[in-house]
Structure 1
């Protein structure tokens, strides 16, 4: 008989497979633990609030499904897996946004339609909005299911959060592809070139002013003063992103001047990983949107194979791809803890 802790029949429409649940618990646990070690070794703290937290959320969700496999009539694990597995991909997408933003720092801001720091502001803000909507919807759905009340309004909020995340990821993927193609082909945005040239000119004027006061160069050593008093700017620091940008009139075709070819190639491997992870998140978002639109008794939600193949596997790929294409292996080692590569 149903009570506040049990239902009369399975809320899933089936009994979750203990074997599938255990496989995903082990896989996400191993990936998360490996990320902990890799981030500690390479000193990239951004991994902890993104990939590690996302992997932990997945472990909690699949653990709840395993709990349900032992007693499918229990309400608590059913509600727990809804809340956790719905929101976990938000953490993985946040990491992808951080990587692309930093890649723009390193490979050339002139090739991106958005400024590098805007990727952090715009897309991570969108991620937070998506997370809040899904959390609110999941909480309301849990409360409604526990009391036997209708869950449609709560489901609609969850769908809105997932669709918002899906649109955000679609825009992000488009921006990422655009950046990669332009950087590879050496086709910068004209308005970005003009912006960077203005920054270079400002830095040059500051260097010349410092040189006129008896300094042999700018305080940061980015300008060289000649015997005739002229000053040549070889690279300037963009105050918005703290990275060097090419000198005025000298945009490099595939990277900023300071980047070496080996470094550049390794960054393309990182961007490949971002592309694969983003595609997995996008596929999963489409599945979840259709599933929730169909309702709690719809075809997708009542057939376990779709949960495993269209959610579990893509999300494992999204987190594990960065164990393989890891900045600690591909990029220069960091001397101290920091968020960026």
Structure 2
């Protein structure tokens, strides 16, 4: 528990508990370390600038709070934890955007209102705007609070940034739910079907122009004038080949079913992580609306549960629901998968 005998001059309204601070420092550090090992082993470079970096930012923020627990009157650690803990969720949500975009690309882009490649670009841009607003507002508000000056205008900037993030995350979750419902019911968007057909026609024309075709696995191979089946096969050979093709088709179908199930499991991870970020955003917006002397701001329990714990789940869920465990092993670092 925080020590109420040392809250005089505290910008928090209490003295942060060193035990809680150390616990979250260790937990976020463990998650970052495990993610680093998993990313290296399975060749997922995108994890480093998203989940790993975000977890390290959390470690930095909670280190600032631990510093404050040793001397609660210091301004530097207070500003340090304000700025870092505001930024951290942006990195976690960025990975959510990537995974949903990949899943849609694999499970059926015709069921998504937005093209898979636009998920990351659209929502990370929204997060950057939110981050800038929160950083500017947070810096001004914390400095003003430390000097005893009015903080309302700066706090309003922070609230605007968080609300902007809430709206963008809400739209993201809405698009994700819409995709899940349509994919489950097999009800594609008509305009997306037409769009995909046009793109496929263009690719086919380009392949024909370059003298290429695709085999049964979707791999481009050169065409040849001798690429015809020999007609002089005896009945035994035809039967044998037919059996092999049937077995191949059965194995391929079973593999595809497992592959699709893996992507659905990954989407569960996206849903859990996104929900945690949404809950944290709602808490932060209410907290700042109440002001720097409000009940939420001056009660440590809410920070620990509705911010730290939510973010720990948001990043930690991917230590267990990891693409490296579920999807075919990547052979190179190229691409997200």
TM band (smaller chain):
0.7 to 0.9
- The answer (yes or no) to whether the contact 1:97–1:120 under 8 Å persists in 2 is yes
* Residue of structure 1 aligned with 2:321, choices 319, 325, 331: 325
Q: Compute the TM-score of the two structures, normalised by the length of structure 2.
A: 0.84
1:127-170 CA distance string (max 9 Å, x none): 11111111111222233234433222211111111111110000
Structure number, greater radius of gyration: 2
Bigger helix share: 2
Q: Compute the TM-score of the two structures, normalised by the length of structure 1.
A: 0.83
Q: Aligned partners of 2:204 and 2:335: how far apart in 1?
A: 29
1:131 is aligned to: 131
What's the CA shift for 1:26? 0.7
1:6-64 CA distance string (max 9 Å, x none): x9521111111111111111110000111111111111111111111110111111111
1:250 is aligned to: none
1:21 is aligned to: 21
Indicate how the Cα distance of structure 1 residues 8 and 216 shifts in structure 2: closer, same or farther if over 3 A, else same. closer
Q: Within the alignment, does 1:78 sit opposite 2:78 as a pair?
A: yes
* Residue of structure 1 aligned with 2:259, choices 257, 263, 272: 263
1:221 is aligned to: 220
SS in 2 for 1:337: coil
SS in 1 for 2:220: coil
Across the aligned residues of Structure 1 and Structure 2, the Cα RMSD in angstroms comes to: 2.5
Q: Aligned partners of 1:74 and 1:284: how far apart in 2?
A: 26
Indicate how the Cα distance of structure 1 residues 107 and 8 shifts in structure 2: closer, same or farther if over 3 A, else same. same
Greater Cα offset, 133-142 or 143-152: 143-152
Q: Aligned partners of 1:306 and 1:200: how far apart in 2?
A: 52
Q: Within the alignment, does 1:294 sit opposite 2:290 as a pair?
A: yes
Indicate how the Cα distance of structure 1 residues 217 and 64 shifts in structure 2: closer, same or farther if over 3 A, else same. closer
- The answer (yes or no) to whether the contact 1:89–1:315 under 8 Å persists in 2 is yes
Q: Aligned partners of 2:86 and 2:69: how far apart in 1?
A: 19
1:282 is aligned to: 278
Q: Aligned partners of 1:53 and 1:207: how far apart in 2?
A: 41
What's the CA shift for 1:202? 2.4
Greater Cα offset, 189-198 or 273-282: 189-198
Indicate how the Cα distance of structure 1 residues 207 and 76 shifts in structure 2: closer, same or farther if over 3 A, else same. closer
What's the CA shift for 1:337? 1.1
2:114 is aligned to: 114
